[in-house]
Chain A
Amino acid sequence: MDAYEILKEKGISVGDKIVIDSIEGILMPRSEFVESDVIVVKMSNGYNIGIKFKEGMKIELIEKKEQQASEKTTKEEFDLRKPIVSILACGGTIASRIEYRTGAVFPSFSPEELIEAFPEIKELANIKARKLFDLFSEDMQPEHWKIIAQEIAKEIESGVDGIVLMHGTDTMHYTSAALSFMLQDLPVPVVLVGAQRSSDRGSSDNRINLVSAVLFASKGDIAEVVVCMHENLNDDYCAIHRGTKVRKMHTSRRDAFKSINISPLARVNYHERKIEYLTSNFRKRDKNRKLKLDTNINPNVGIFYFHPGAKPELLREMAKLYEGIVIVATGLGHVGVNPRNDKLAKSFLPVIKELIDKNIPIVFAPQTIFGRLNMNVYSTGRILEKAGVIGNLCDWTIETALVKLMFVLGHTKDINGIRKMMLTNMAGEISERIEI
């Protein structure tokens, strides 16, 4: 029995004031965690409770829900002395808000809503804002990256001083890597920003992250794709990470994003609205530089995670679906090749050779996350290198290796061409030196 259907027949809908079983309250939306015969009601003291609907139960409509106030239409005026920042929204926690009456979470922010929620950004820049998609992080596809890159290019061509991209955090580092390869010779910063805490709460990191991102997009001197998120657990600084070197390293902390193998490029002092640069090794802002947009990408790349007990046959099966494979390898860059002919060990060497022969590139990335691959040290590494595995002396993250291989496969199918492109540092994804 669907209680909400029965209520609908009685002309009662979510938000209406009702009396059910002598309890007065506002009908709340159905909860996904309870059975369909449970009616959720907000009592006058503000608490929600669930009431099991029973045949013959007395339910009365007291008052229909008031019509929502119409959307605000005030337009913000442009201030020519201030830089212009385009905010593009893809969805995610940062671009969601809550309807307190029902507790439902609504996505999307119009520019007006954004400015209303974060009035500080208006003081930093003239804000242009629009929604590209409304997607959860995990629904983002390589095809979406193309659209984002195209939309950013349009904004840059219109002469803005910086871009802010609001994005869900789970796959933000994939998108930042993809944009780093697609948006070449950037004249201004492209800043990805997200939130780890929902926007309904006073403690949300959305405000400090967004304000810092807008500040960096408008004034920052780094014309690269970067990620702007909390530097640590304090509400003081945001770190600016290079788009190809950043990774989400925690499920929930607000400082989940860390630069891997390099230092963050800069940090933003939220309270003083100041930028501190931590390196000079970056492309400088230059509005006269001409952006080169290259969205050729082949999404048919998969990741194989090597582990004790892993089956070479799975890799062979994967190769039927993909045109390139990133193997997440152990240590300095190893998978089993069984050089000592152990009875129990399995060798991946035959299948790896077979795939490379078929022009399916095999790229290694480190399970350790931190550090550089070096396949010269152990015989296993030397054997794999010789077999044509790509990745020796690279320190890329798993995700950047994946995205780069997609990008490279969008440009060439030739295994030697692929190898050459992969090993060329295109967007800071391979660091020359790793500092202590």
Chain B
Amino acid sequence: MNYKELGLKVGLEIHFQLDVDRKLFCNCSSAMKEKEPIAIVKRKLHPVASELGEIDVAAQFEYLRNRTFFYEVFRNESCLVELDEEPPHDTNEEALKVALQIAKLFNCKIPEYIFVMRKTVIDGSNTSGFQRTMIVGFDGYFEFKGRKIPITQVCLEEDAAAIDKEENGNVYYKLNRLGIPLVEIDTGVIESLEPKEIEEIAYQIFLIASSTRKIRREIGAIRQDVNVSIEGGKRVEIKGVQRLSLISKVIEKEVERQLELIRKGEKVKKETRAAKEDGSTEFMRPLPGAERMYPETDIKPIKTEDVLKYLEIPEPLNKRIERYEKEYKLSKSLIESLLKTDYFFLFEDLARAFPNVESSVIASVLSSTLKEIERKEKIEIKLSEQKLFEFFEALSKGFIFKEAAYDILKKMNEGKSIEEVVKELGLIPLTKEEIIKIIEETKKEVADKKKLIGIVISKVRGRANISEVIEMIEELS
């Protein structure tokens, strides 16, 4: 399909949950660990007419569905603020800092005063009937393949409650997600690019925002809305694309859908559609109007000068990737797989702390050995950064060898110290004399040198430096 000729226009809205401990407007934990609700509160929402007597078409649509909302309350993770029973507290300063860092990374203008706004949302996902949101940056851009991709705005907002279940017009929402700090990054209209390229843009945005090290990466913590239109069609907003890798498919399918309607002589309607797992979409509601935003009068405006004074701007991730290639000689594919882990930043901390351990060894332990243990042993790796430091320190001191990484890390993951693990596995390093003895004994049985090397290596595996052992065999024969 020739998307250029079709006049494909796409706008992205990318949402990231911030990895901070507290919620945006209260002191509830943002961990979302609790499983069982401790209480359920029943609510109705009503549309409110604006001063001109107009009710937002999206709000009216939701109201006519006459649904009843049930809010599940979780210990430590929801309080009176989430229940709309107490006014919001001051804006979480850590979250604000991260949002401002992101705005700066996208070359945005920062308002001198930030005003928190109320955006009308009446599908029940916000107990109050609105979502609190603030613009922290506007008129920004970033470079992609030599062109400037416009970033129209970066907003800090509260995440909405997640639907637990829906039955007979009763919708159950989990309150623990409501209020988690969320950054929304909106691109301007992107024209004459392929759907695949737009997906790459989304990935670049993710990488740049990740530079703050405060972006959550779990499933559901990153969500995209994609606006798509073609010549002769209409702007359709597709909400809730859960994976970056689904974006191109969603765009392709929406273009097909609009083309099909045009072909049949039907009108494409301006509307909001929901993305499904396979990239297709279904109707959600009409597109909301513009008069949905008004000030949150319960929160004082924020003077950004005071925050910006002490704000450090992190190194952009794409710059860091280039540096990893050059400084640490990591291959592109190794960097790719490292990016998929939680250890991308930790890599450099380790590489700097232990310069005599090869960078590629550190990178591959972090990106593949740990994954391999998870996959083969069917366990979850929960090693702290400190434990990983212990491991590489032992490696650096020659106390352990990289060949034993799998076994040692597997045991360390059970909570054991490295000393305990080494003892338990019998991986105490061999002395030179012991190695020589093994070589001499093996030589008596095997004459062929190639075979000899193989057998000796298997005997000393994990207890000696392999290249040193090979050298020793060479010397002794």
Tell me the A residues contacting B by CB distance below 8 Å.
28, 31, 33-34, 38, 40, 42-43, 45-52, 68-69, 72, 97-101, 103, 105-106, 116-117, 197, 199-204, 207-208, 233-236, 251-254
Give A103's nearest chain B residue, CB to CB.
B295
Interface assignment of B64: CB less than 8 Å from any CB of chain A: no
Interface assignment of B458: CB less than 8 Å from any CB of chain A: no
Which of A43, A51, A234 touches B41 (beta carbons < 8 Å)? A234
Chain B residues, Cβ within 8 Å of A197: 84, 128
Chain A residues, Cβ within 8 Å of B113: 31, 34, 38, 40, 49-52
Can you give 18 contacting A-B residue pairs, CB < 8 Å?
Answer: A46-B293, A47-B133, A49-B115, A50-B301, A98-B51, A101-B50, A101-B294, A103-B294, A103-B297, A106-B51, A116-B49, A199-B48, A201-B48, A201-B130, A202-B59, A204-B46, A204-B48, A235-B43
State how many angstroms separate the Cβ of B302 from the closest Cβ of chain A: 9
Chain A residues, Cβ within 8 Å of B120: 202
Q: Are B128 and A201 in contact (CB under 8 A)?
A: yes
Tell me, in angstroms, the Cα distance from A68 to B291 when the chains sit together. Answer: 16
Which of A47, A52, A105, A202 touches B115 (beta carbons < 8 Å)? A47
Tell me the B residues contacting A by CB distance below 8 Å.
41-53, 59, 80, 83-87, 111-115, 117-120, 122, 127-130, 133-135, 138, 152-153, 155, 290-295, 297, 300-301, 303
Chain A residues, Cβ within 8 Å of B301: 31, 33-34, 50
Tell me, in angstroms, the Cα distance from A293 to B130 when the chains sit together. Answer: 45
Chain A residues, Cβ within 8 Å of B127: 203
Chain B residues, Cβ within 8 Å of A252: 80, 85-87
Chain A residues, Cβ within 8 Å of B48: 117, 199-202, 204
Give A255's nearest chain B residue, CB to CB.
B85
Chain A residues, Cβ within 8 Å of B129: 201-204
Tell me, in angstroms, the Cα distance from A40 to B120 when the chains sit together. Answer: 21
Give B81's nearest chain A residue, CB to CB.
A252
Q: Are A45 and B59 in contact (CB under 8 A)?
A: no
Which of B48, B49, B117 has most A Cβ within 10 Å? B48
Q: Are A38 and B117 in contact (CB under 8 A)?
A: no
9 A-B pairs besides A200-B118, A236-B42 with CB distance below 8 A are: A31-B301, A48-B117, A51-B113, A103-B295, A116-B49, A116-B53, A201-B129, A235-B43, A253-B80
Which of A45, A51, A52 has most B Cβ within 10 Å? A45
State how many angstroms separate the Cβ of B399 from the closest Cβ of chain A: 57
Give A207's nearest chain B residue, CB to CB.
B46
Q: Are A49 and B130 in contact (CB under 8 A)?
A: no
Tell me, in angstroms, the Cα distance from A203 to B129 when the chains sit together. Answer: 5
Q: Are B46 and A99 in contact (CB under 8 A)?
A: no
**By DSSP majority rule, is chain B's interface helix, strand, loop, or mixed?**
loop
Q: Are A97 and B51 in contact (CB under 8 A)?
A: yes
Chain B residues, Cβ within 8 Å of A31: 113, 115, 301
Q: Are B51 and A101 in contact (CB under 8 A)?
A: yes
Q: Are B85 and A233 in contact (CB under 8 A)?
A: yes
Chain A residues, Cβ within 8 Å of B43: 203, 234-235
State how many angstroms separate the Cβ of A56 from the closest Cβ of chain B: 17
Q: Are B52 and A49 in contact (CB under 8 A)?
A: no
Tell me, in angstroms, the Cα distance from A33 to B301 when the chains sit together. Answer: 7
Chain B residues, Cβ within 8 Å of A208: 44
Tell me, in angstroms, the Cα distance from A182 to B303 when the chains sit together. Answer: 51
Give A250's nearest chain B residue, CB to CB.
B85
Q: A38-B112, A72-B53, A98-B294 are in contact. Are A202 and B117 (CB under 8 A)?
A: no
Give A205's nearest chain B residue, CB to CB.
B84
Q: Are A100 and B294 in contact (CB under 8 A)?
A: yes
Q: Are B115 and A50 in contact (CB under 8 A)?
A: yes
Which of B42, B49, B292, B303 touches A34 (beta carbons < 8 Å)? B303
Tell me, in angstroms, the Cα distance from A234 to B41 when the chains sit together. Answer: 5
Chain B residues, Cβ within 8 Å of A105: 297
Q: Are A203 and B45 in contact (CB under 8 A)?
A: yes
Which of A33, A97, A101 has most B Cβ within 10 Å? A33
State how many angstroms separate the Cβ of B248 from the closest Cβ of chain A: 26
Which of B43, B85, B119, B303 has most A Cβ within 10 Å? B85
